[in-house]
Structure 1
Amino acid sequence: MIELRDYLADLHIHIGRTRLGAAVKITAAPSLTMNAIIQFATATKGVDMVGVIDCHVKEVIRELEEKIENGEAFQLEDGGVQFPGVTLLLGTELELYDESCKGPIHVLAFMPTIEKMKEFSEWLADRMTNASLSSQRIYENAKIVQLKVRELHGLFIPAHVFTPFKSLYGKGVTSSLTEVFDPKLIDAIELGLSSDTNLADQIEELHAYPYITNSDAHSLEKIAREYQIIKMKHPSFQEFKLALQNKEGRQISSNFGLNPLLGKYYRTICAKCSGQIEDKECPNCQTQKIVKGVFDRILELRSANEKEIERPPYIHQVPLQFIPKLGKQTLKKLRQQFGTDMSIIHSVSREELVRVVSEPIAQSIIAAREGTLSIDAGGGGVYGKVAQKKMIKE
């Protein structure tokens, strides 16, 4: 009998710079290099599998090939690149421009091997302006892109599907993914930071797909702010694929994500004064220029009946960086004492915490674990925040 284990995976991490200093994701921190991602994910965050979604870039591919040649990593027979302590899945994020789209749509594509990613990279190079950068515009029929990914035995996943900009439901379609995509060629749906399972399942056409929850990290500290626990034989491309298909005992065991209130786009915001609004017009500015929040967009799209869908548990999480008064030095002390962030967030007791941090911070970490923190909702590109007044028991 095959022994299966739970592994922690964050599958949407950007590279900020190549080893030679060239920009990849321009808006990402320069410290987000391949080496730094591997080291930080294992030693600091406690992640077993990372998806680096800029692997179409030729310089990134060359770096991976050299690491394999030097014995620093090796390709797994069933897909993925194995580093000490962590498996890397080869991914890319694309910004699709299809004449059927109402606006650009970000999608993720994962390939099993470097060879397949190189082939996909060459195919993309003819369809985008600058293949050395992340999340570049690709002018192609979306279904043709899906078919190419399937031809290369890859996985196709619409990214952060509800965010107001550059996403499937945010700008891409009026009401249905079928306006753009072939639904049979979608392998999963990435929810994004401002939504969760309960919100997404209000849209009936999404019931057919597994959900994944990833950090979309633009800095090292944001790695694993969202992730999933996946039951697999070992972390690899094919094992992940089986988990998405819920086959042979492989499965997504649970999703961990921000409470949607903490997301940058949960509530609708006036684009002029940044006030939260409930209607199509701001009562303060009398303007209709708004940034529609995920919550309100999902209400517009709502189509599902009350039928309950069998899903893995979705566990709301508050990253340590959101805890009030938990600064860099305090976080450093916690990591020195308890190891990875996963240990601190999920398992270190209150009694152990107060030996290192103040009582209020310890209480906040435990309250975050128990889901009892009070949160002020975010929107319009500004993260929500923990409300300090209700944080500590009297």
Structure 2
Amino acid sequence: MIDLREYVADLHIHIGRTRLGAAVKITAAPSLTISSIIQYAVLTKGVDLIGVIDCHVKEVILELEEKIENGEAFPLEGGGIQFPGVTLLLGTELELLDENCKGPVHVLAYMPTIEKMKEFSEWLAKRMTNPNLSSQRIYENAKAVQLKVRELGGLFIPAHVFTPFKSLYGKGVTSSLTEVLDPKLIDAIELGLSSDTNMADQIEELHAYPYLTNSDAHSLEKIAREYQMVKMKQPSFQEFRLALQKKQGRKISSNFGLNPLLGKYYRTICAKCSKQIEGKECSNCQSSKIVKGVFERLLELRSSDGKETNRPPYIHQVPLQFIPKLGKQTLKKLRDRFGTDMNIIHSVPIEDLLQVVSKPVAEAIIGAREGTLSINAGGGGVYGKVAPRK
């Protein structure tokens, strides 16, 4: 009998700067380095498996190799790099825009080993203007990229697939992923912050794939704002692959994601005056320039009335940073007292929370846990907000 347990996994975390200060993800915080990501994931967030998706950068590869040589980490037989308390999967985010794409599409690729990532990095460098930056456009046919990932034993996953910018369904295709990608070479679908399982399952062609809920963290605090619980023998690349394939008892057992109302692109917004609108023109300023929301885009794409029956539960989560009146100092007190965010969000009883925070804050944390908070929807690049409790 194989001993399996559940692990917390967030597989979309950016690097802001290398250890020498060179920019990697320009829009990410400089504090996002390999070392700080590892430390924050373990000590503050309580994550077991992280995907760092800028590992194609040569300086990042060199740093990981040095950490292994220095005994700070070691490569796992099943793929991935083991640090004390957390496993790192080597990933990269790419931007596709070939002759079949209607607009740019972001995708994630994960490799089992540093050697495979180095080989992929060299392949990318011949097809990319600046291989030392994150999320760069690759000048290659999308299906050729898929084939290369498969050839190297990697995983290919379209990223935040419904956001209005740089995503598969937001800009990349008219109605079907087959316009751009080979459906047989997709290992999973990353939903993004403004959608959930029920929303995504309105598209019948997605019923064939497991869903991932990742943070797309551009700062340390945003690590694990979305994540999944994955049932595996240990957190490693091959075990994660088995979980995606639902083989040998491995599986994604639950998805934890923002209530889609909290997402930046849930509803359609007027690009000129930022008012939420319905239809093609703003009633407030009569502008026809809009940022189409995920909710409205899915109404256009809808092809199924039913949810794929074997889905794990999708549990709406409100990160602690969204809780009204929970400031940085109070959050520090909570972490000093109760440890990781995973513990605070899911486990600490209200009577214990009340020893550290005010009654409205404690009740809001429990309300987030129980799914009873009132939320004002976001859109147009602005996050939704939890309505203050009266």
TM-score, structure 2 length as denominator?
0.99
CA contact (8 A) 2:201 2:307 kept: no
The equivalent residue for 2:383 is 383
The equivalent residue for 2:267 is 267
The equivalent residue for 1:29 is 29
- Which residue identity does 1:95 align to in structure 2? E
The equivalent residue for 2:288 is 288
CA contact (8 A) 2:207 2:308 kept: no
- Which residue identity does 1:234 align to in structure 2? Q
Unaligned residue ranges in structure 1 (runs of 5+):
none
Q: CA offset at residue 184 of structure 1?
A: 0.1
The equivalent residue for 1:318 is 318
Distance 1:127 1:298 in 2: 33
Distance 1:371 1:296 in 2: 23
Distance 1:322 1:87 in 2: 27
- Report 1:1-394 matches (<5 A): 1-306=1-306, 308-388=308-388, 391-392=389-390
- What SS does structure 2 have at the residue aligned with 1:92? strand
Distance 2:219 2:307 in 1: 39
Distance 1:146 1:7 in 2: 28
Q: CA offset at residue 87 of structure 1?
A: 0.1
- What SS does structure 2 have at the residue aligned with 1:368? helix
- What SS does structure 2 have at the residue aligned with 1:119? helix
Q: CA offset at residue 309 of structure 1?
A: 2.4
Q: CA offset at residue 307 of structure 1?
A: 5.8
- What SS does structure 2 have at the residue aligned with 1:132? coil
Superposed CA offset, 1:49-96 (max 9, x none): 000000000000000000000000000011000000000000000011
Distance 1:202 1:15 in 2: 33
| Stretch of structure 1 that moved more, 303-312 or 345-354 | 303-312
- Which residue identity does 1:292 align to in structure 2? K
Q: CA offset at residue 308 of structure 1?
A: 4.8
Q: Which aligned runs of 4 or more in structure 1 are off by greater than 3 angstroms? A: 305-308
Distance 2:97 2:272 in 1: 28
- What SS does structure 1 have at the residue aligned with 2:287? coil
Give RMSD over aligned pairs: 0.6
- Which residue identity does 1:201 align to in structure 2? D
What is the number of equivalent residue pairs in this alignment?
390
**308 and 132 in structure 1: CA distance in 2 versus 1, 3 angstrom threshold:** closer
Superposed CA offset, 1:89-130 (max 9, x none): 000000111110000000000000000000000000011100
Q: CA offset at residue 306 of structure 1?
A: 3.2
**60 and 307 in structure 1: CA distance in 2 versus 1, 3 angstrom threshold:** closer
Distance 2:56 2:116 in 1: 10
**77 and 305 in structure 1: CA distance in 2 versus 1, 3 angstrom threshold:** same
Distance 1:129 1:307 in 2: 41
Distance 1:109 1:307 in 2: 27
- Which residue identity does 2:124 align to in structure 1? L
- Which residue identity does 1:266 align to in structure 2? Y
Distance 1:244 1:15 in 2: 25
Distance 2:200 2:61 in 1: 35
Distance 1:13 1:7 in 2: 17
Distance 1:256 1:279 in 2: 31
- Which residue identity does 1:387 align to in structure 2? A
TM-score, structure 1 length as denominator?
0.98
Q: CA offset at residue 141 of structure 1?
A: 0.5
- What SS does structure 2 have at the residue aligned with 1:273? coil
Q: CA offset at residue 305 of structure 1?
A: 3.3
Aligned-pair identity (%):
84
